[in-house]
Every structure is written in structure tokens, then in C-alpha cells.
Amino acid sequence: MINWLHYSNFKEAEFACRCGCGRADMDPAFMGKLQQVRTAIDMPMRITSGFRCAIHNQKVSSTGPNGPHTTGHACDIGVQGADAKKLLSHLIIHFSGIGIQQKGSGRFIHVDDLTPPEFPRPNLWSY
């Protein structure tokens, strides 16, 4: 069970599954890294997707019921422009997987700390 009081810049509701089940089973080590980044950049981080239950992930992601968000080791951060560059420079220090979507209206950076062989994929990719 995660103690949300350890992450002063984040609230459990930000990471809750968007399907309505309310689960926010984030990994404490992942959240610790995210808090370190948030403290270092000293700017808000808008979480657009945190934990996803298997059913919701299968509906919204090509990774099916077992994607990175279902582990509590991933989130998407809504960010663009110079803020995205600043954030990215700190994320690459702490996280092993970074996906960047910086075109159109849904700009975000996906971040996770998963490692192969469980989740084989590039360390840095664009959508």
C-alpha cells in the first residue's frame, strides 16, 4: 500500500484509473523517482494517465491488459514546448522508458521504469 503523504506534489486522485474503479496502485519506488523530478524542475506536472486496471488498459492501449500502466510503474504527463524539454532533461536521468507525443492537441510524455525482458521495447520512442 502506497503512502501518498510521501509525495507532496501529487495526489492519489491524479493517478486513479480513469474507468471509475478508483484504483491507484502506483509503485512507491516509481513515485519516489517522479517526486524527485518534480522537486528538481520546480513546476507543476499534470498527470494525464496514471494507473490503469487491466480492463481499462485493454480499451485504451495497444498493450492490452498487461501494459506498463497496469503495473504502477508508468504515467503520462501532459506537457509541451519549453516545459517538455525541461522535463525530459530530468526524466532521462531516472526512468528507463520514455515515449514522446509532441504534436497535435494531446501532447504528453509517457514515463516508466520497467526493464526488459518483461517489457521489451525501445528506451526512447515517439508516438
- Which residue segments constitute the domains of the chain, with CATH numbers given? 4-126 (3.30.1380.10)
For the full predicted model, state whether its pTM sits above 0.75.
Answer: yes
Instruction: Give CA–CA dist 77/81, Å, rounded.
Output: 13
Average pLDDT along the chain, 127 residues, taken 10 residues at a time: 94 97 96 98 96 96 90 96 94 95 94 80 84
Cell readout for 48 is 494525464
Q: Do 50 and 77 touch, CB atoms closer than 8 A? A: no
Q: Do 45 and 75 touch, CB atoms closer than 8 A? A: no
Q: Do 84 and 107 touch, CB atoms closer than 8 A? A: yes
Instruction: Give CA–CA dist 87/76, Å, rounded.
Output: 12
